[in-house]
């Protein structure tokens, strides 16, 4: 089956939906969702969106905080571009009707997170991502020119010469591959944190867009910089439950089992140090003491304050038997954000004609070696706007060429799904054990040898069997794992999120 649209958007998070909404209603737009519309990383984001919104703050300060967190590897022009376009993005969201939290004086409440020198995080209590996604979905569904394809999984881009003409998409409900032709194609598939065994991300974040872009010839950068969120809820029934950084911004303390704080011994900023420092400190204490987790304690704050600022976390923990107003929360680090991705310019252009990448799948230069808290949703919004402007400026929404039908000669379905599940498990465990928070060249070389073997097995499987969702994700995942390991092996200094015990800082 074939489809044809002016713009094909792969991904339904903040980046993808914002771009679709920023385009004129005269454009026909397809939005591809791997799962249901709400299942993406945006929906799980808690903290907020960083933006200079008060007179005592400044663009220069936001820029400086971002550059410091990025450990010298940010692109200063990309940082400046993003920061200066932040207020417009926030006003655009307010115009869509998002319900940001207000203080008693009815001004918007701004919180502070690790690495920020000012309170500049605008938020919706502790569920900003969910409220943002609901706002964008509501606006999207009101547009007749935007068509949503749920439970559709992107397999590969289709190029003719140097131009991207669209993509092949697996329709999970119909169990068939469909060809989507488009004048412009936008990758907005999110990051690759599910390449690790433990992650704060939903299962859809398997690096699909990064892998497809790389196979198509896009330049990929900074894949060695994987951010591990310091505080994920440690509980067998918690799933991917993130404990927002804003809780530390509002005074929560990290503690050992005996109740003593340990962060002041690692950094003068204590719990407000950047995430890589906090994650390594927790990892160090867990390994030093042989414990399973540390504690995050905000119980010294008034109960009404805690319930008012963190209602989602309060209820989540309470459902698991933890009352955060009276007791600490067990937490561990988990893979959270992919700082690298497909290299793009200020307009989200990839270097391949008619192909754009925005959001976590991209590498804009904003994050460098470490992402500053709450700059990620901001990046989605700013680059969605700039990419949309560029698409409109090109004025080629009617110029499409047809993507040929998918070669379905591999008619055999997989007979042993256990092989796929084993490969899934092995990739993620290998990455966690050898390419995690703390690395060494020996660990990285072991990871590389195992990934090479898995890559050969997966390619053999692909040559013989029809695709399904598990296999498509696995095929993307092995590419991302290889990109991360190869980038880490080439980095001869410990910097930002890449910490190699064999390399000097």
Give the least confident one: 38-42, 159-163, 173-177, 361-365.
38-42
- For the chain, how many helices (H) and strands (E)? 15, 17
Phi, psi at residue 433, to the nearest 5°?
-75, -35
Q: What mean pLDDT do residues 455-478 have?
A: 89
Closest CA to 233 of 114, 306, 328, 133: 328
pLDDT exceeds cutoff 60 at 398: no
In angstroms, how far is the first alpha carbon of the chain from the final one?
Answer: 53
The Cα–Cα gap between 502 and 437 comes to 14
Which token pair is 385? 């706007």
The answer to whether 178 and 168 have CB atoms below 8 angstroms apart is yes
Which domains are assigned to the chain?
Answer: 231-334 (3.90.700.10), 417-490 (1.20.58.100)
In 311-385, which ranges are E strands? 329-338, 341-343, 355-357, 362-363
| Residue-level pLDDT at 246 | 84
Q: Does the pLDDT of residue 383 top 80, yes or no?
A: yes
Joined tokens for residue 357? 């990448």
Return the structure tokens found at 3: 């489809």
CB 229 within 8 A of CB 275: yes
| pLDDT band at residue 415 using 50, 70 and 90 as cut-offs | low
User: What one-character DSSP code corresponds to residue 406?
Assistant: P
Q: Which percentage of the chain shows pLDDT scores above 70?
A: 95
Confidence of residue 259 (pLDDT cuts 50, 70, 90): very high
Nearest CA-CA partner of 476 in 103, 250, 207? 207
179: pLDDT strictly greater than 80:
yes
On the question of pLDDT at 412 being above 70, the answer is no
Average pLDDT over residues 382-395: 96
As a whole number of angstroms, the distance between CA 330 and CA 204 comes to 26
Contact 42, 219 (CB under 8 A): no
The three state secondary structure string of 50-63 is ECCCCCCCCHHHHH
455 three-state secondary structure: helix
Calpha distance 479→5 (Å, rounded): 28
Sign of the Cα pseudo-torsion (340, 344, 349, 353, in order): negative
Instruction: Write down the pLDDT at residue 200.
Output: 84
Known catalytic membership, residue 469 = no
pTM listed for this prediction: 0.89
User: How far apart, in whole angstroms, are the C-alpha atoms of residue 311 and residue 298?
Assistant: 13
pLDDT classification of 63: cutoffs 50, 70, 90: very high
Please, which residues have CB within 8 angstroms of residue 60's CB and are 6 or more apart in sequence? none
- Mean pLDDT across 157-165: 96
The string of DSSP letters for 30-94 reads EEE-SSSTT-SHHHH--S-EE---STT--HHHHHHHHHHHTTT-S-HHHHHHHHHTHHHHHHHHH
Mean pLDDT within 345-357: 97
> b vs e for 150-179, b when ≥16 Cβ sit within 10 Å of the residue's Cβ?
bbbbbbbbbbeeeebbbbbbbebeeeebbb
Report which of 194, 215, 214, 197 is spatially closest to residue 205, judged by C-alpha positions. 194
| Residue carrying structure tokens 């509980």 | 235
* Dist. CA 426–CA 449, nearest whole Å: 12
Identify the burial level of 310 via C-beta atoms within 10 angstroms of its C-beta, where 0-12 means exposed, 13-18 middle and 19 or more buried. Answer: buried
- How confident is the model over 219-247, as a mean pLDDT? 88
Closest CA to 37 of 235, 204, 163: 204
- For the stretch 10-20, pLDDT in tens is 999 999 999 99
d(CA 35, CA 203): 10
**Cβ contacts of 105 within 8 Å, gap of 6 or more:** none
| Candidates 275, 280, 371, 400; catalytic one | 275
- With a pLDDT cut of 90, the percent of the chain lying above it is 73
**Range in 63-77, 84-98, 384-398 the model is least confident about:** 384-398
């Amino acid at each position: 089956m074939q489809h044809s649209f002016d713009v094909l958007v792969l991904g339904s998070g903040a980046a993808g939906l914002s771009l679709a909404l920023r385009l004129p209603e005269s454009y026909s737009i397809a939005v591809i969702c791997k799962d249901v519309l709400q299942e993406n990383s945006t929906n799980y984001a808690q903290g907020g969106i960083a933006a200079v919104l008060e007179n005592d703050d400044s663009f220069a300060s936001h820029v400086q905080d971002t550059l410091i967190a990025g450990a010298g590897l940010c692109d200063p022009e990309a940082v400046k571009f993003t920061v200066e376009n932040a207020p417009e993005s926030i006003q655009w969201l307010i115009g869509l009707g998002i319900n940001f939290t207000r203080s008693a004086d009815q001004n918007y409440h701004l919180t502070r997170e690790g690495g920020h020198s000012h309170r500049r995080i605008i938020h919706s209590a502790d569920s900003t991502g969910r409220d943002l996604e609901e706002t964008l979905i509501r606006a999207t569904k009101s547009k007749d020119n935007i068509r949503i394809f749920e439970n559709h999984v992107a397999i590969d881009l289709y190029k003719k010469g140097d131009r991207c003409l669209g993509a092949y998409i697996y329709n999970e409900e119909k169990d068939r591959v469909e060809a989507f032709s488009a004048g412009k194609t936008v990758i907005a598939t999110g990051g690759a944190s599910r390449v690790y065994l433990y992650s704060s991300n939903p299962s859809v974040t398997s690096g699909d867009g990064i892998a497809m872009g790389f196979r198509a010839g896009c330049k990929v950068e900074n894949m060695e910089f994987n951010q591990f969120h310091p505080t994920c809820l440690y509980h067998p029934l918690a799933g991917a439950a993130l404990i927002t950084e804003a809780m530390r911004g509002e005074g929560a303390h990290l503690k050992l089992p005996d109740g003593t704080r340990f962060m002041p011994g690692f950094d003068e900023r204590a719990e407000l140090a950047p995430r890589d420092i906090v994650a390594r400190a927790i990892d160090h204490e867990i390994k030093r003491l042989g414990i399973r987790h540390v504690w995050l304690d905000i119980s010294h704050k008034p109960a009404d304050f805690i319930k008012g600022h963190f209602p989602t976390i309060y209820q989540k923990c309470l459902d698991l038997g933890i009352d955060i107003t009276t007791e600490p929360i067990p937490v561990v680090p988990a893979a959270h954000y992919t700082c690298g991705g497909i290299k793009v310019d200020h307009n989200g252009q990839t270097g391949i004609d008619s192909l754009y990448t925005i959001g976590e799948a991209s590498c804009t230069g904003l994050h460098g070696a470490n992402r500053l808290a709450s700059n990620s949703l901001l990046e989605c919004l700013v680059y969605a706007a700039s990419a949309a402007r560029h698409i409109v400026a090109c004025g080629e929404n009617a110029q499409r060429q047809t993507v040929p039908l998918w070669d379905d000669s591999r008619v055999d379905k997989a007979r042993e799904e256990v092989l796929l599940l084993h490969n899934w498990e092995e990739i993620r465990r290998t990455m966690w054990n050898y390419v995690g928070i703390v690395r060494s060249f020996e660990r990285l070389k072991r990871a590389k040898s195992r990934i090479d073997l898995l890559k050969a097995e997966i390619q053999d499987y692909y040559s013989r069997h029809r695709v399904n969702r598990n296999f498509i994700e696995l095929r993307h995942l092995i590419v991302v794992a290889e990109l991360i390991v190869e980038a880490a092996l080439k980095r001869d200094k410990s910097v930002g999120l890449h910490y190699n015990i064999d390399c000097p800082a």
